Amino acid sequence: MAVLGVSGLFATETDDYDPSRFFAFYHDATACLVHNGRTLAAIEEERLNRDKHTNRFPINAIRACLDASGTDARDISHVAYFFEEAYTDQDIAREALDDPGMPLVPSRTLLHQRITEATGVDLSDRPTSFLTHHETHAASAFYDSGMSSALIVVSDGNGERDGICVFAGDGDGIRLLHAYNRSNSLGHFYTAVTKYVGYKNFDEYKVMGLASFGDRSVYRKLFSELYAFGPDGNYALANDRVVKTLIEEVGPPRRHDDPITRVHKDLAAAAQEAVERIGLHVIEHWLRRTGLTDLCLAGGVAQNTTLNGKLLKLPGVRRVFIPPSPHDAGAALGAAMIIDRRLHGRVHDVFSPTAYLGAPLGDDEHIRARLDAWGDFITYERPEHLERDVAAALAGGTVIGWTQGRAEFGPRALGNRSILADPRPAENRDRVNLMIKQREDYRPFAPVVTAPDAATYFELDGAEADHSYMGFVVPVREEHRAGLGAITHVDGTARVQALREEQNPRLYRLLKEFEAVAGVPVLLNTSFNNHAEPIVQSVDDAVTSFLTTGLDLLVVGPYVVQRTDTPAEALAKSRLEIPRFCQVVRTVDRHGENQVIIRTSRPNRRTPVSAVLAELLREGGRISDLPLAADEREELVREVRRLWDNRLVVVSPS
């Protein structure tokens, strides 16, 4: 009998719950299955509905978890949700005040209704637990750490009442030591600065990368006047004054298409320093107070890998663990872990011996069938020596999309849904940033390295840590920085993934083959997606991303894929549809009539489209079926290609 853990809101594609109203809440919707001390599957809904950070109910993820684990829905014995019931009911009620047409149904009823929609089985008679949000985060870290006892610090935007919670974990479970009010949230502070610098929710990692280019001292005084330390690890942070202070003292906020200036870099650096100072103030106090030497972190702020790297140098810290999914997706897993521990106690040292807990790619026959379907766009072959051939291509400058097995759980690509490149030439960083990922040129890339060789290239001294999940920024050894130019950040650091052979044998073989031709068992490893989509999940996702980026080759399972030289003709013959999270709408105003694609989830952008394409998308047709002149057809193909690049149309091969 399995425990189903769930995060996310109760919106679907067809109901009345507008997910854009809850954009900052219930995000990263996820389903997890846990049984008798083991994680069977953990899948984020965004990977399946293709809506990044989606908060729609994880209907597809529940189905995928059941399929991936071979579990019958009738064998779900308990359901666990990642927030308290009263809090969730009140949140929905507050939103309903602004929308009298929105249905107001108890969250417990909604949860059971949605699970029934997903599974076809009524599970409303199963015990259902709504848990404290920060406790679910704490469980996701401690119960996968393998530690017998640890200090657990959870920091994010907020839980029900708190911005930071400190727990102690041991053989008896997890107990709360102290809670810091949500008004002092480090997550909200960092998000406020992120928006001021011209980014949006969930872009905090961009500010962290930008911080390395700035001077912390320039705005140190400005930020230091917004917080104060108290005794016993307490602090006060004036989040209500952050934006007002920045506008008054620095000027108007940056718009996303404005250039990034020295001011923005210095602000990012000073904000990062403030988060580090406050975080270390809290953590150091509770380490002293409890005498504990092992440390676990979870919550969105635990994705601040620069801060995490500094924890490795704290005196008296023996071990640090950060799970592969410290954000709200991990809270769904933590919720399931809590209930499973109540039922069975501690069965194994960890619930999740691997991070590859997502939906599978499919067997070789399935992969081949999907590649055949894209035959107008691609050709493929199955080389006898896959890893050797791919390593040679990488060493020769080829950038490759690499897709294998079950997807990773969490926001990091750990080698099953990755873009891989030679880590040596610094120009590869710019090439992957601008031509392939289509993102800011300052952002760093992570390396993956064979674990036995990791300390040769990276400074891993200090506290012991599991570097399997890219959770820590550490220095690249000075003698290797020039030779690893593509993965060494401007400050001489990298967010390293140290891979053990048993974790991912095929990727490990590729690293060793690359070492044989290039001299280093290291590769540049970044998530396989473009700027407009989540990490790829399926064969079709991988082919789509390959065809709409500057990738040179695609590897899917044992197959190596290349483009054909007739993409326009292939696109004209393909079936075009609207994505699940979009609508085609006719608008009429005093300036006339327009056709637009509207995202039904945040950001709610409106993208104009031609009347011909709007009608085609409504019907789900093909350009080749339309009676168009050659120049009209070419223009329509170009329009579709622009929208496809931004994932505003779905292209299905003929």
Which residues are tagged catalytic? 27
What does the radius of gyration of the chain's CA atoms come to, in whole angstroms? 24
Which 3 state secondary structure label does DSSP give 168? strand
Burial tier of 565 (Cβ tally within 10 Å: 0-12, 13-18, 19+)? exposed
Q: Residue 46 and residue 268: Cα distance in Å, rounded?
A: 28
Collapsed DSSP state (helix, strand, coil) of residue 227: strand
Copy the structure tokens of residue 388: 């050797």
Residue 548 DSSP label:
T
| Residue 160 C-alpha from the chain's centroid | 23
Q: Partners of 650 in the beta sheet?
A: 577
Give me 343's structure tokens. Answer: 């039922």
User: Within 10 A of 255 (CB to CB), how many other CB atoms are there?
Assistant: 7
| 211 burial via Cβ count (<10 Å: 0-12, 13-18, 19+) | buried
Q: Is 180 left (phi over 0), alpha (psi -120 to 50) or beta?
A: beta
Within 538-648, strands assigned E span: 553-556, 559-563, 575-577, 582-589, 592-599, 606-609
Residue partners of 291: CB distance under 8 A and separation at least 6: none
Q: Please list, in sequence order, all residues whose beta carbon lies within 8 angstroms of the beta carbon of residue 567, skipping any fewer than 6 positions away.
A: 377, 547
Residue in this structure with the two tokens 């075009």, named with its chain if needed: 576
Please, which residues have CB within 8 angstroms of residue 482's CB and are 6 or more apart in sequence? none
Give the residue among 613, 611, 603 at the shortest CA–CA distance from 642. Answer: 613
Residues in the chain: 654
CA distance 1 to 76: 6
Residues 322 and 410: their CA atoms lie apart, in Å, by 12
Tell me the C-alpha distance between 471 and 112, whole Å.
35
Question: Do residues 350 and 323 make contact, with C-beta atoms less than 8 angstroms apart?
Answer: no
Amino acid making up residue 619: E
Helical packing angle, 386-395 and 505-518, nearest 10°: 50
Separation CA 175–CA 167 (nearest Å): 5
Beta bridge partners of 652: 575
